[in-house]
A = this chain, B = another copy of it.
Amino acid sequence: MGLDLGYVLPKLMFLSKSDEISIDAITLFVGLLCTCIVVGHLLERNRWVNESITALIIGLCTGVMILIATGGRSSHILIFNEELFFIYLLPPIIFNAGFQVKKKHFFRNFLTINLFGVVGTLISFLVISLGAAKLFEKMNIGFLETGDYLALGAIFSATDSVCTLQVLNQEETPLLYSLVFGEGVVNDATSVVLFNALQRFDLSRFTSDVTFKFLGSLLYLFSTSTFLGVAVGLLSAYIIKKLYFGRHSTDREVALMILMAYLSYMMAELLYLSGILTVFFCGIVMSHYTWHNVTEKSRVTTKHAFATMSFIAEVFIFLYVGMDALDIEKWRIVSKGPGTSIGVSAILFALVVVGRAAFVFPLSFIANLTRSSPHEKIGYKQQVIIWWAGLMRGAVSMALAYNQFTRSGYTKLRGNAILITSTISIVLFSTVVFGLITKALVRFMLPMQKHTGNFSDEPLKSTEEPLLMNGHGSGTASNGHGVIHSGSLRMLLATPTNTIHHYWRQFDDACMRPVFGGRGFVPHTLESPMETLS
């Protein structure tokens, strides 16, 4: 702790000869980010293209230009650094997911979401790992260890459902939306936890004993990480409630929330836990308690500042992936046997499709058993959309693949080069091609959706705003809470999740909120954000 840690700071130089390059790189990257946002916004008017696709394509074009400018030597200006990803880019994305999650629906469908997100991801992981191990054996793709196959499973279990969420209308299909969104978040966490657990585990001997130990370690990671996230979130709520009572300072509240969220992530990493789970639950707790203890202005600011940080991080990642896709070195190794590479990509993508089908339909059947009323059941068409929504692969897969198959950004081994290029191909293919089909598919499967009016005019609103709005909305009390009281016994038998939710609400109101604040437990200062603005 007291050691000389100067090397942890970015070694960006300033005003000396060798440094212009780094300022070049940052300037170019920031400029490209701006371009992506502007172009993405222009293209989104037709709703066939989203920000991810735009960023990928702009990244590709920039890559081509750099390739030409450097005479074919290099296509990127930054070497992918999974530390950058895990320390700076991932935390805001995951924290924002937890913070913006529509908690009422999330917790009402908690069991189903976890069934899909945890059990489903594990099934998908097994299918892809075993399938890859079986099918790659006969192909000449260089040496891969058991750990590599398992890592492949974890890498390709991480879905990217942003594209589908942009098309779904959560007002018309709230159940479907909540399932796709919730699964997407839990799935991200599960794959990263799985991947990290694999990295720390000796997998040279693969016995049933090791498997049980592995599952135990996974369970330990899940519970301790969640606990840490909840603890930090509650601490932040308590501090802000006690300190700022009657004497608010927006900038400090916002700063404290950002810093404590980040602190939870870094503490988890320090304790070898899963930062992603910790920061996700920290986000949920913060939006449930802390968010209600701050001023009106702090609420608007945090809500949008977190969303913006997450947005920038996502665009950054896709831009990078696009730029890196043309990196010569990897493709040079692969180009000696292009057939093998195409084969590997096709097999992996087929495994993704099969692995997802292998859990969506069976688990939907199981989930439907616990749901009594017909409109609560997951219909066949909805199952297809859930299955489809999880076929796209995105930034998390890329980062995990880089972490596993490149060390210090380069790909020396043939096997690693093939797997990296395959990952890039699958991410590009699934994001661009499947992304473009999604809209048509959803409209075909759910023809009752309205597609006119303000929905197409305000695309981001439809995916983001309502998440928080309803989560904090007054609807929570009347719908979730009130209904149960009216027919308590029937509900208890019919919907166990709702009952858990009901008891949680009682506990929350009686014990938690008086201590940690939260909706209705903090006397509001009578100021509106409008007052000081115009």
Choice from B10, B34, B259, B473 contacting A534 with Cβ under 8 Å: B473
A62 to chain B, nearest CB (A): 10
> Cα distance A255–B303 when bound, in Å?
13
Closest 6 pairs between A and B when the two form their complex, measured CB to CB: A6-B79, A2-B70, A8-B22, A301-B304, A10-B10, A27-B266
Q: Are the C-beta atoms of A2 and B73 separated by less than 8 Å?
A: yes
> Cα distance A4–B304 when bound, in Å?
35
> Cα distance A505–B524 when bound, in Å?
40
Residue among A74, A199, A259 with most chain B CB within 10 A: A259
* 249-286 of chain A: CB within 8 A of chain B: 249-252, 254-256, 258-260, 262-263, 266-267, 269-270
Q: Does A248 contact B (CB under 8 A)?
A: yes
Q: Are the C-beta atoms of B84 and A12 separated by less than 8 Å?
A: yes
A518 to chain B, nearest CB (A): 13
Choice from B10, B305, B457 contacting A254 with Cβ under 8 Å: B305
- The 12 listed contacts between A and B (C-beta, < 8 Å) are A5-B21, A9-B78, A9-B83, A27-B267, A33-B259, A38-B256, A250-B308, A251-B464, A252-B311, A258-B308, A303-B533, A305-B308
Q: How many copies does the complex hold?
A: 2
A317 to chain B, nearest CB (A): 13
A339 to chain B, nearest CB (A): 30
Interface size of A in residues (CB-CB distance below 8 Å): 109
Residue interface bits A162-197, CB-to-B below 8 A is 1, else 0? 000000000000000000000000000000000010
Q: Are the C-beta atoms of B311 and A87 separated by less than 8 Å?
A: no
List chain B residues, Cβ under 8 A from A457.
246-247
* 496-528 of chain A: CB within 8 A of chain B: 528
> Cα distance A82–B270 when bound, in Å?
27
Q: Are the C-beta atoms of B307 and A251 separated by less than 8 Å?
A: yes
Residue interface bits A441-485, CB-to-B below 8 A is 1, else 0? 000000000000000011111001100110011100000000000
Q: Are the C-beta atoms of B533 and A296 separated by less than 8 Å?
A: yes
A303 to chain B, nearest CB (A): 8
When C-beta atoms are compared, the residue in chain B nearest to A533 turns out to be B299
Residue among A251, A260, A457, A460 with most chain B CB within 10 A: A251
Given known A-B contacts A243-B42, A260-B34, A12 and B3 have beta carbons under 8 A apart: no
